[in-house]
Each structure stands twice: as structure tokens, then as C-alpha cells.
Amino acid sequence: MGSIWVVSLIFVGISMLVSMRLKGKFAGYSKVGLTSGLSGRQVAEKMLKENGIYDVAVNASNGFLTDHYNPLNKTVNLSPDVYNGVSVAAAAVAAHECGHAVQHATSYRWLMLRSRLVPAVQYSSVLVQWVLIGGILLIKVFPSLLLIGIVLFALTTIFSVITLPVEFDASKRALAWLQRTNVTNGQEFPMAKDALKWAAMTYVVAAIASIVTLAQYILIYAGNRRS
């Protein structure tokens, strides 16, 4: 059990470092004005229109780096710094979220699969930590409880892994569009690419942490079976 906490702390530290780096990149690129003069909202609306998407609304949302695409009500939700910002960072983030809208419109298979898993993951995420803790404490008398926890945790791990191609593909679509349309020029494009790279790293760290933690729980269960 102790090794699980050690690994968790290590990945919490790595996640914090990556998050700090991402925030630093966003802050820096937010100060670089976009030569095209488009705000994040205008970038999003332009990308949606040029991809033939007319049923997705672009909204302002509260918070910092809370930007997301909601497939349920077909909205691109941009934080204030992105929605109103006329910067490389705003353009990169807005285009990335529209990349998800394009995925939805084209039925991108990994996005569709992730969407189908959402209800199950929401349910399992509420129970998984309590079931795992109970499973560890009662492993000698009720080992099946830990197995149930492993199955629930595996769902969240699968979800994290499936999220990777979804996020990388959205960035790929965003960057291709930004470059093709000259929304970002030759100097601004590498900055947009760098910003999205660090955003993707947060998902990579989360997926690796989930895989390693799942493996540890499986080893604990297997070790108890042998003892």
C-alpha cells in the first residue's frame, strides 16, 4: 500500500510541474499579439465556419484555462482570457477546442468512443477510491472487493488512454488550420504549437499515472492470491 502512495505523490509532483509549465507558457504567449488581429472568439467562429459547422455556438465561460467543447449541447466554451484575447495563446486554445467540434461533426471514432464511456466513468469515479481503500483493508477477508475496485479503476484508466488520441488529433487539426489560413504567421505558429504541446502533456502524465497505479493494485491483488 505504501508504494501506491509514493507513486501517487511522484505523479502529483510531476503533474504540478507540467501544470506550472503550461500556465507559464500560456501567460507568455498571451502577451504575444496576433498579427491577424482576431480574438479567440473570432478564431473559433472562423474555424467552425470554414469547416462547414454552423450548429455550434461559441460561448464565454468563467475560470482560467477552463476551455472545453461540450458535445451534448454543441458549444465551444472559452475562458475570458481566450474568448477576448487577441494573442497566440488565445488563438491556439480556441482552435484546439474547435478541433473537438470538427471531430464531433466528422464522427471521429476515438471521440465517439470516449463519449460513450462518459456515463460509466462518471459512475465509477464516485465509488472507485472508497472501494479500493475498502478492498485494501479487507483484502484478507473479502479479496473480491479489491477486484471490483480494480475493474472500476480500469474504466478510468481506459478513459485516460482514449483521451490521448482525442487531444492530440484536436491539436493536429487546429495547427493545420492555423497554418493553412495564416491566422498565425511564421513567427507565431511555432508558439501556438508549443502551447498545445504542453497542454497535451497534462493528459500524457495523467494517463501514465493511471496505468502505473492500476498495475500496482493488480500486483497487490495477485500477491494476495498467491499468499
Residue pair 33/89 in contact by the 8 Å Cβ criterion: no
Quick one: CA torsion of 181, 109, 120, 215, rounded to 10 degrees?
-100
- Closest by Cα among 59, 99, 103, 104 to 82: 59
Contacts of 181 (CB under 8 A, 6+ apart): 46, 50
Contacts of 83 (CB under 8 A, 6+ apart): 39, 40, 41, 58, 60, 61, 90, 94
Q: Which of 45, 97, 167, 188 is catalytic?
A: 97
Q: How far apart are CA 135 and CA 140, in angstroms?
A: 9
Query: Is 97 a residue of the active site?
Result: yes
Which residues participate in catalysis according to the annotation? 97
